[in-house]
Structure 1
Amino acid sequence: MEFTSPEAQERYAALVRALPQVVVGLDFDGTLSPIVEDPTAARIHPEAAPVLRALAAEVRALAVVTGRPARQAIALGDLDEVGTALREAGTELYVFGQYGNERWSASRRRIVSPQPPHGLATFLRELPGVLREADAADAWVEEKGLAVAVHTRRLPEPGEAQRRLTAPLTALAERHDLAIEPGRHVLEVRAPGMHKGIAVRTVVEEVEAGGILFAGDDLGDLEAFEAVAELREEGLATLLVCSASEEQVALVERADVVVDGPDGVLELLRRLTADAAAARG
């Protein structure tokens, strides 16, 4: 765990003091769950559940904000069970899936979701031809209901394959009035107008939070980082945490704290819980 500046250390101390009014927002892949070659095989870190339960007693709410479909994140993270435990501690757990297009809470137990965007079905029909032309026919295409993710992790030189695909997939998405979101060896195509920053602001406003911590690992979390920075200017206690990796460094320069992957995220949350308890005396 590394603070990026003296100001970052001061922000951490202010967050500890405000913790009963704080929302803790967490990405899933690369933050709560280690990155794996097959995203369907991902699982929440085995130590995450007890860490989140302990933290729940100190904060206003917890929110998982992910690009995954909400139902998938709930299943892979055992978040239904975690949410029940958090509710017993008097704290709500929210899940914002597909960058905020879907939402679920432990109290309501129902996923609220819009219809798939117009143009997505046509995009899917035209996608194989674009992949062949970019010499990426073997990229794994994940249909997510409201979005389509093109994964290059299984291809030779996945970073180069992603760079090769970015321009043609962007052009195809724009022809169908869709947006493209780059991630760690993945390009996701979905409806424009929603992103993790909106989800962060939504939960902060709904619970009338006095602070927000957000932890993420890649470009899909950039809008959430920007939203937290704006909330800081509005007077909220904030902390930005980068779950760092060799694959993605885009968030490092924007973060207050840089940690080593999901292990480091949980170490930070443990410290936050302990420091809150110590502050109470």
Structure 2
Amino acid sequence: MTEGLEAILDDPAGAVIGLDFDGTLAPIVPDPEAARIHPAGPGVLARLGDLVGSLVVVTGRPAGTAVEYGSLARVPGLVVLGHYGLERWEAGRLTAPPPHPGLDLVRAELPRLVAGLAGARIEDKGRSVAVHTRRASAPQAALDALREPVGALAAATGLAVEPGKFVLELRPPGMDKGVALGAFLEERSARSVLFAGDDLGDLAAFAAVRASGLPGVTVFSGSAELSVEADLVVDGPSGVVGLLGSIADALSARRPV
């Protein structure tokens, strides 16, 4: 960990700072549409955008939604990779492939699968569809009941299932946060990397940090059972923003006057 942080501080122009959105920059809330970035987040990211080589948000959300909910449009040089890397937002421009054809059948069938589970909620993200059980009376039991039928629906439509905290998301296969982050590191000729995340989907990005061979730091801001995968554990989005602020302070202090 110390090596990775020192590499970022010693050579900020070669550093990539990668971040998940929900649970990392924004607190987890019962309604995903109500999620918003930590109040200090946009300011800290704007500072970092002027200090490091590359700043990237890698999220399962649509890229445009993350930009809106995170007030990210004015962060210098920021890239947002949405839908686990299928979408890219950069300098106000969004690029993405056509939606997967299997999503039409998912939209038709998923309401039937969740009909008997009070509190289960479907979220249509455009290029993926998720079912949340956080509001169910027994969230874990509802999630467990959905695993098999959702998996069968994914197999029938050629989609992949992305599990998370009380959520199962059906999305196009072949892309995850690790693939997205690894490609971005190569694109930017990174010389060091930090990635912060909070959920199962972020473990692929942690693995990409290790596989890159670069001096790196993985930061976890979520539940304790996954913290063993990270170099550093912080207390939710406030801890992430505090860490990023400390890095920005240290880089500013080292900048020539």
TM (norm. structure 2) is 0.94
Q: How far, CA to CA, are the matches of 2:104 and 2:210 in structure 1?
A: 36
The CA deviation at 1:251 is: 3.3
Structure 1 runs of 4+ off > 3 angstroms? 248-251, 277-281
User: Are 1:27 and 1:65, in contact at CA under 8 Å, matched by a contact in 2?
Assistant: yes
1:152 aligns with 2:133: yes
Q: How far, CA to CA, are the matches of 2:165 and 2:81 in structure 1?
A: 19
User: Are 1:26 and 1:214, in contact at CA under 8 Å, matched by a contact in 2?
Assistant: yes
- Who is 1:43 aligned against? 36
The CA deviation at 1:279 is: 4.4
Q: How far, CA to CA, are the matches of 1:267 and 1:227 in structure 2?
A: 24
- Who is 1:249 aligned against? 224
Pick aligned residue for 1:20 from 10, 13, 17 = 13
Q: How far, CA to CA, are the matches of 1:150 and 1:166 in structure 2?
A: 11
Pick aligned residue for 1:216 from 180, 185, 197 = 197
The CA deviation at 1:250 is: 4.6
SS in 2 for 1:32: coil
- Aligned identity (percent) is 48
Q: How far, CA to CA, are the matches of 1:17 and 1:252 in structure 2?
A: 27
The CA deviation at 1:162 is: 1.2
User: Are 1:218 and 1:250, in contact at CA under 8 Å, matched by a contact in 2?
Assistant: no
The CA deviation at 1:216 is: 0.3
The letter of the residue matching 2:249 is A
The CA deviation at 1:131 is: 2.1
**Matched residue count:** 256
Instruction: Show the 5 A alignment for 1:83-232.
Output: 83=75, 86=76, 92-106=77-91, 109-132=92-115, 135-136=116-117, 138-231=119-212
Query: Structure 1 residues 225, 250: CA separation in 2 closer, same or farther (over 3 Å shift)?
Result: farther
The CA deviation at 1:278 is: 4.0
1:240 aligns with 2:240: no
SS in 1 for 2:56: strand
Q: How far, CA to CA, are the matches of 2:170 and 2:202 in structure 1?
A: 15
The letter of the residue matching 2:101 is H
User: Are 1:218 and 1:249, in contact at CA under 8 Å, matched by a contact in 2?
Assistant: no
The CA deviation at 1:124 is: 1.9
SS in 2 for 1:126: helix
The CA deviation at 1:229 is: 1.0
Q: How far, CA to CA, are the matches of 2:238 and 2:49 in structure 1?
A: 19
TM (norm. structure 1) is 0.86
The letter of the residue matching 2:95 is V
Q: How far, CA to CA, are the matches of 2:118 and 2:137 in structure 1?
A: 12
The CA deviation at 1:56 is: 2.0
Q: How far, CA to CA, are the matches of 1:43 and 1:225 in structure 2?
A: 24
Q: How far, CA to CA, are the matches of 1:190 and 1:62 in structure 2?
A: 25
- Who is 2:251 aligned against? 276
User: Are 1:128 and 1:137, in contact at CA under 8 Å, matched by a contact in 2?
Assistant: no
Gaps of 5+ in 1: 1-7, 87-91
1:67 aligns with 2:48: no
The CA deviation at 1:197 is: 1.0
CA root-mean-square deviation: 1.6
Provide Cα deviations, 1:101-143, integer angstroms capped at 9, x if missing partner.
Answer: 100112xx211111111221112212222224xx425411111
SS in 2 for 1:25: strand
Gaps of 5+ in 2: none
SS in 2 for 1:111: strand
- Who is 1:33 aligned against? 26
User: Are 1:15 and 1:239, in contact at CA under 8 Å, matched by a contact in 2?
Assistant: no
The CA deviation at 1:188 is: 0.4
Q: How far, CA to CA, are the matches of 2:207 and 2:148 in structure 1?
A: 25
